[in-house]
Amino acid sequence: MNQLEKIFANAKRLKKTIILPESGDKRVLEAACKAADLGVARIILVGVKSDVDALCAEIGITRPDAIEVIAPESSALLPELSKLYYTLRKHKGVTEEDADKAARNPYVFAALMVKAGHADGTVSGAACSTADVVRTAIQVIGAAPGTRLVSSFFLMMLEADHHAKKGAFLFSDCGLVIDPDAAELSKIAIAAAGSYTMLTGDTPRVAMLSFATRGSASHPMVDKVEQAVKLVRLNRPDLLVDGALQFDAAFVPEIAKSKGAAEPLGGEANIFIFPDLQAGNIGYKIAQRIGGASAIGPVLQGLDKPANDLSRGCSAQDVLDMIAVTACQAGAQK
């Protein structure tokens, strides 16, 4: 059983409820039906039942009876959720009328369902930007207690025959924090370590990436990464972390040895922390499109309850994978 199969098995065991606000997207609808059929999660779709059934007929699938379809405008939960939104946002000048209007928005409705405990997590982004997904999640669900930074990661699955190493690897932050300082970078690394353990059950081995290894170049960009490593070690001395490292020194044991980075990771990192969003986003797309890795994400970390993003270029399988990951996150956030 590979790591993705383990994630699916865990999701089935947890039996969490995941709400999807983009029921008009064929990929989302296909993934929702498959998730319900497989027992990955209990699925709620935000939309009009007749529209959902018509789209199912168009793409040749049958909507499982277990899938609930909720139209915000006619939902008995609308007054409760409108009031909740007003309570959350009135300090920003939101009126009760504004709140009622906002709660009818499918994305806001889904996030409110999670906040109120009617669903365990939400997945969206197939038809909207990451900025919209994240803004709604932060405004409605909010950050986890004690967390000041919401970041993201991609779970990179290397399972193809041509992959010299196989398994699950985590890349962060590839989707959210644009230019983290050393303190923020350390927080991203610590959050990523927790996310990796939660999803895989394996010991995190964290590499803080740069264009230099062990002082092979002197530059403020390298200094930032080295400072972040010091902060991780100060705040989480139990974590196995090293940096600054070039990717090859973090991933290939022979190169790690030749570059004087044999300890503590020895080229066997499973978590890769990129110095900024530009590097991270480019890195994961290269691994996905040229390297043939499967990329699940961006998965948000640091929220009080799970709300995850999809690439607008996602496939139905990507959506299904994200539903499983979100269910596992919900199981860990008790």
Torsion angle in degrees (nearest 10) through CA of 225, 226, 227, 232: 90
Q: What is the tens place of the pLDDT at every residue in 250-274? A: 999 999 999 988 899 999 999 999 9
Report how far Cα 289 is from the mean position of its chain's Cα atoms. Answer: 19
What's the token pair of residue 36?
């319900």
pLDDT at 7: 94
Boundaries of CATH 3.40.50.10950 in the chain?
Answer: 3-142+304-332
Tell me the average pLDDT of the chain.
Answer: 94
CATH 3.40.50.10750 range(s) for the chain read 151-290
Q: Specify the pLDDT at position 218.
A: 83
Give the per-residue pLDDT at 194: 95
pLDDT at 69: 96
Per-residue model confidence (pLDDT) at position 334: 63
What's the chain's Rg over C-alpha atoms? 21
Fold of 3-142+304-332: Rossmann fold (3.40.50)
Alpha helices in the chain (DSSP H): 3-14, 26-38, 49-59, 78-89, 96-103, 106-115, 130-136, 182-200, 220-235, 247-251, 253-258, 277-289, 316-332
Residues of the chain with pLDDT under 50: none
Give the Cα separation of 330 and 14 in Å (integer). Answer: 9
Q: 151-290: which CATH architecture?
A: 3-Layer(aba) Sandwich (3.40)
